[in-house]
Structure formats: structure tokens, C-alpha cells
Amino acid sequence: MSSVNRVYLYNRYERFWHWSQALLVISMLITGFEVHGSFTLFGFEQAVNLHTLSAWSLLTLWAFTIFWQFTTGEWKQYIPTLKKVDAMVRYYVFGIFNHAPNPFQKTAEKKHNPLQRLAYLALLSMISPIIWGSGLLYLFYSSWASLGLDSYLSLGVVAVIHTAGAFMMLAFFIAHVYLTTTGHTPTAHIKTMITGWEETD
């Protein structure tokens, strides 16, 4: 049995942020697709209320998290890089099946692999603006006239953009959840996100 190194990767706030965000994103996906008319679960009115409540909760959570990112310097984790991206791609396409070692080792200084950084860049620079831009316009539909926006926008277009963003988010969510199982054991990453401690070989 190999020796085990334990690294403390995620502190308490980070874990709280991650799991409450997860809960809110799941809640928004479920209620959002119900509002879209894909299925009936809570009923339209409740779905709208829960969706709106989750949106405001998530915005509040982000207000705290952005503050946390900058005061702790953790925002640097999200600086994208192309270095070793090819190695990561090769690992996920070939190496992972041949039990090749993961070319990236998590450290407290570098928590995200280069591919992950690119994925979060896409999330932050594309999916998020699409969803939140259209979502806030949707939410403030009643104020369009007073903001002078009503002649430029139509609810149908805003809703379509919001829906497109939601599909991207759902696809991201599926990939993200799957990739949590790619640690040295299928549950290793999930355990780390719960306890904060990463076990490495």
C-alpha cells in the first residue's frame, strides 16, 4: 500500500459555497425547466417562486464569494492557461483507460487542472452572462417600460436566450458531476469537497 499524503485543499467557506451553490443550481434547473413547460412538479406558480428565490439566493452567495475570492487571492485559481492542456486532453481520452498517472496533481496553490480552468472560463465568460443577463431581464420584465427597454426587447427572445443558457448549464452540470468520479477512487473528489482534505498517492 502506497503512502498517503493529505493536503487541505478547500477551507470551510469554500465548501459551504460549493455545496450551497450546487443546491441552488440544481433547484434552478428543476424549477426553470418546469417554468419552461418541460414537466410539472411544483406547479407553475411555485416553480416561478422557487426559481426567483433561488436566483436571489445565488446572487447573494456570489456577492460574498466574490468578496472572499479577492480578499483571499483565490481568484488566481481561475486564471486560464494553455500549458499542459494537451496532456490533460490526452489523459482523459487515452491515459485514464490505461491507468496512466494523472498529469496534474492538485495543490493548495493550484486546485484546478488546465482543462478545468478553461471550462470555468467558458462558464464564467459565456454561460453565466447568457443566463444571468437574460434571467435578470426576464425577472424585471415589469420594469422594461420604465427603463425604456420595451421597444428593443421581446419576452420571447429573452426567454429563448435564457433557455439556451439553461441547456448549456445542464450539459456543464452533467460533465462536472461525472468528472468528480475520476479521482483515484470514484468518490475521492467528492470526499475532498466534503472534508476539505485531498488524499494523494
Partner 1 sequence: MLPNHPSEMLTTRFVLPMLAAIGLLAASNSFAANAKLETIISPAQAATADRPTIKSTADHSKFKLLDRDFKTGPEVTKACLTCHTEAAKQVQHTKHWTWESTDPKTGKVRGKKNIINNYCTSPVSNENDCMACHAGYGWKDEKFDFKAEQNVDCLICHDQTGTYRKLPGFAGHPVYKRVEFPHGSGKFVEAVDLKKVAQSIGMPTRSNCGSCHFFGAGGNGAKHGDLDSSLKHPGKYLDVHMDEKGLDFSCTTCHVTSHHEVSGSRYDAAAAVKGPAHIRGKKDETPASCQSCHSNKPHHEAMLNQHTEKLACQTCHIPEYARNQIGTESSWDWSLATTMGLDGKPMAYKDSAGRRSFDSKKGKWEWDSYVIPEYRWYNGYSDYKVIGDKIDPSQTVHINEVGGSANDPDSRIWPVKVHRGKQPYDKVNNYLTVQHTAGEDHTALWHNYDWQKAIAAGMKAAKLPYSGEFGFVDTAMTWPITHMVAPKHDAVDCAQCHSKNGRLQGIEGVYMPSRDSNRWIDMIGWTLVVLSLFGVLMHGALRLYSSKMKGQHK
Instruction: Tell me if 148 contacts partner 1 by CB under 8 A.
Output: no
CB of 185 vs partner 1, minimal distance in Å: 11
Of the pair 43, 101, the CB lying nearest partner 1 is at 43
Q: How far is the CB of 51 from partner 1 (least distance, A)?
A: 10
Instruction: Read off the C-alpha cell for 88.
Output: 490533460
What does the alpha-carbon distance between residue 145 and residue 9 come to, in Å, rounded to a whole number?
Answer: 48
Place of cell 426587447: 153
Among 8, 13, 44, 64, interactor with partner 1 by CB under 8 A: 44
Q: How far is the CB of 197 from partner 1 (least distance, A)?
A: 24
Cβ proximity of 54 and 31 under 8 Å: yes
Question: Which residues, including other chains, have CB under 8 Å from residue 99's CB and lie 6 or more apart?
Answer: none
H runs (alpha helix) in 73-154: 85-90, 96-98, 114-122, 128-139, 144-147
The verdict on 56 binding partner 1 (CB under 8 A) reads no
Give, in order, the Cα–Cα distances in Å from 4 to each of 109, 110, 159. Answer: 19, 19, 50
β-partners of residue 197 are 8
22-41: contacts with partner 1 (CB under 8 A): 34-37, 40
Q: How far is the CB of 121 from partner 1 (least distance, A)?
A: 19
Residue found under cell 499542459: 84
Smallest gap from Cβ 63 to partner 1, in A, equals 22
Q: Which is nearer to partner 1, 65 or 134 (CB)?
A: 134
Largest CA distance in the chain: 68
**Residue 98 makes contact with partner 1 by CB under 8 A:** yes
* Rounded-to-integer distance, Cα 91 and Cα 16, Å: 30
Site for partner 1 (CB under 8 A): how many residues? 35
- Cβ proximity of 155 and 141 under 8 Å: yes
Q: Does residue 53 bind partner 1 (CB under 8 A)?
A: no
Q: Is 142 in the site for partner 1 (CB under 8 A)?
A: yes
Min CB(164)–partner 1 separation in Å: 5
Q: Which is nearer to partner 1, 26 or 96 (CB)?
A: 96
User: Which residues contact partner 1 by CB under 8 A?
Assistant: 34-37, 40, 43-45, 48, 92, 96-99, 141-143, 145, 154-156, 159-160, 163-164, 166-168, 170-171, 174-175, 178, 181-182
